[in-house]
Structure 1
């Protein structure tokens, strides 16, 4: 298990400051680097990593520290320096706190969690030679087996940090599952939930009274053959944990758009404009920032986003975008090169409180703009009863209910207008955009009647038969 400590400073930690922080364990500890120099490790006499420190990140986006840590800092950019301490060694957690505390003292910042901050020298008294060596050199991975990489997190909110993103990528490359273990009080950000949505990746909740269960499905889990897998009863059915109870309906809602765009792979193509249009329609402003991990640290820029995707092509690019703090809005985007062109798969979630009305009335206008200007293929709009802050608890949440589905004009032509406009079980679509090549917009309800799923399934089956 590891413990995370973060230094938040107005100035970049320079080399002398980092060295002062790394001296938290006194002169007997060594220093190593890994990940091509991006990670510095404070090591015991035998070279065992005690604390791993990631390269500082300059967070330009206001509100990110509050969103992820519930730890507000003064307005303006802040340097985020994250340290992970191995709890296999008793002193490692205090070493991480002393490292972060020294940075904050010298540079005038703060530490999260606040109680971890110290500037004391923490001598190593544990005989590390008596502790089994870690099976992995990856800083984010606590347990590594032939089938699974396990990450144990004690943070209240588990974000898709660069640590986790690297662990997920490494696990996928090695054909391993990524399984994150947390206490029941932890929540996930939407990017982390998206990453863990597909089996065998899992969110494993360790409940002191009920054992292990899947935080997204509630399935009771146990450790077998190097992985957390479901427990089945005598009939072969998956058991559901007693702790996986429904979340109370507070009136909060999430409006979720899942859309795909496709445009020709031209030299002057700029990416991110479809997402920008969706943010503008639904929040009144473009995204505040974007990044390839959380915290979202870069100011919004379609040019920089495009440059990154070009540099990575033909490999796909995955990124996160966040809105301004007055309206919770978070999106994930996957940019993919296909034979048909450049595709952007976008999932955008907007949070609303019980006294706020989701912006359902402008979905059709947004779909029309996406179709005429940004190559819309499909757009599914859904509404769900879930937290306004867009975080995910380890409780049973109701699924989203479809509100509308839109076919872009190219997809309508591919299916055939006569078929697409006349589904036998409804609904009759509205035409959007130019009369000659319209997009088709199917209204499915207001997000309160679960029978909309049946209507949507019949519609999709009809369209796929083409």
Structure 2
């Protein structure tokens, strides 16, 4: 630990920067060095891959946790630009950062887990995989039919136990008018304060997040990169694990912030469900909220993604921003097929609407209510275009 602290302080001194957390850089013997600077990365540096085909780039990550490092972020970007999938191969004991999991949504990108019994399987779905036709792809079950093309699930993926740990997941979109005085990150900080009692601890454009939380610096970075989008990760503290990914985009509507946030809770800890309505009202009245979905799920407190089955989250509430409510025809937003009416948030003349949902992580029926609500809000014209 002392050696790492010395290294961090030395690097900060040479680069003319700071270390975070500051306590990590307590130097044993750091001196100023004149005329020395950190060597820049090669201008044409490209992320290396272990296997490259005409369909995917494959990287092997033999480490306990695969995080969205600057290198892996570059690999995702390079694969996307080349119209390739990215497949990450790991040992069985590895976990993913939520930021990496969320980046693996598009086929044929996937997390490939090595397994003694089944060879390889998808760490997010459990599907048994084989290397075929230039990529890891699912294996079709022996008894599969064209009408039922089942895929065998790895035995290791199904070995789960309920630990009582849970995660509260919040995803929302805010659309701000483009303005030179706009400061980004305020909506996320408001959610963090309402649900944890304090602001985020740090942020960065890669993991591990290496900067103390600063909406001003996040705004400066996003404006400097505009019109290109900006992606950032925001983290909490060990006392209340939290991780958010933020995507900032310049669109015709203004400046959009798409946020995916999760907090972890142990078996003896209660998620602050009583603060959700207040949190939603803060976003709706102060931060140009467009929409928000809140879920509760059985998953690890430390937010790590294991190569095991974790049940899907269940919806606790959905929120529709004031502008979306205003533009919806008639009273469609206020009169829904749900048993419980929506709760108005903010000014009576121009409210946002909070739709409570069951939110029981052991009962997936809440998704049926959510789907009925979405079909109703979209209306006949939305259903035809779906």
TM normalised by structure 1 equals 0.72
Deviations 1:68-102 (A, max 9, x none): xxxxxxx32489xxxxxxxxxxxxxxxxxxxxxxx
Offset, 1:222: 1.0
Task: Rate the CA distance shift 1:149–1:78 in 2: closer, same or farther, 3 A.
Answer: farther
Structure 1, unaligned runs of 5 or more: 1-6, 19-54, 63-74, 80-104, 108-136
Residue 246 of structure 1 and its aligned partner are, at CA, apart by 4.6
Which of 6, 10, 22 is equivalent to 2:6? 10
How far did 1:184 drift? 1.0
Following superposition, the deviation at residue 14 of structure 1 comes to: 6.9
Equivalents in 1 of 2:329, 2:186: separation in Å? Answer: 28
The alpha carbon displacement at 1:202 in A equals 0.4
**2:53 is matched with which residue?**
145
2:158 is aligned with 1:245: yes
Structure 2 residues without counterparts, runs of 5 or longer = 31-44, 382-386
- In 2, distance between residues paired with 1:167 and 1:441? 39
Is residue 457 from structure 1 mapped to residue 365 from structure 2 by the alignment?
A: no
Deviations 1:217-258 (A, max 9, x none): 011111122211111134232221122115211110000001
The 8 Å contact of residues 9 and 25 in structure 2, kept in 1 or not, is answered as no
Question: Residue 128 of structure 1 corresponds to which residue in structure 2?
Answer: none
Contact 1:262 1:375 in 2 (8 A): yes
**C-alpha separation in 1, matches of 2:236 and 2:308:** 26
CA distance in 1 between counterparts of 2:196 and 2:93 reads 30
* Counterpart-to-counterpart distance in 2, 1:262 and 1:412: 15
Q: Which residue of 2 aligns with 1:76?
A: 24
Aligned-CA RMSD value:
2.3
Aligned pairs, how many? 356
* Residue in structure 2 matching 1:60, options 20, 37, 42: 20
Counterpart of 1:176? 84
Deviation by residue 1:253-306 (Cα, 9 ceiling, x = unmatched): 000001110011111111000000011011111111110110100011111100
Equivalent residue in structure 2 for 1:378, among 285, 291, 294: 291
The equivalent of 1:30 in structure 2 is: none
For residue 325 of structure 1, report the CA deviation from its aligned partner: 2.2
Determine if contact 2:47/2:74 at 8 Å carries over to the other structure: no
In the TM superposition, residue 13 of structure 1 has moved relative to its aligned partner by 8.5
Which structure 2 residues correspond to residues 405-420 of structure 1 after superposition, within 5 A?
A: 405-416=318-329, 418-420=331-333
User: Could you tell me how far apart the structure 1 residues matched to 2:262 and 2:160 are?
Assistant: 19
Q: How does 1:53-452 map to 2 (within 5 A)?
A: 60-61=20-21, 75-77=23-25, 138-233=46-141, 234-235=144-145, 236-416=149-329, 418-448=331-361, 449-452=363-366
Give the equivalent residue in structure 1 for 2:42. Answer: none
Q: CA deviation at 1:446?
A: 3.4
Shift of 1:140: 4.2
| TM-score, normalised via structure 2 length | 0.87
CA contact (8 A) 1:153 1:180 kept: yes
Q: CA deviation at 1:144?
A: 1.5
| Structure 1 counterpart SS, 2:120 | strand
User: Are the aligned partners of 1:59 and 1:78 in contact in 2 as well (CA < 8 Å)?
Assistant: no
Larger radius of gyration: 1
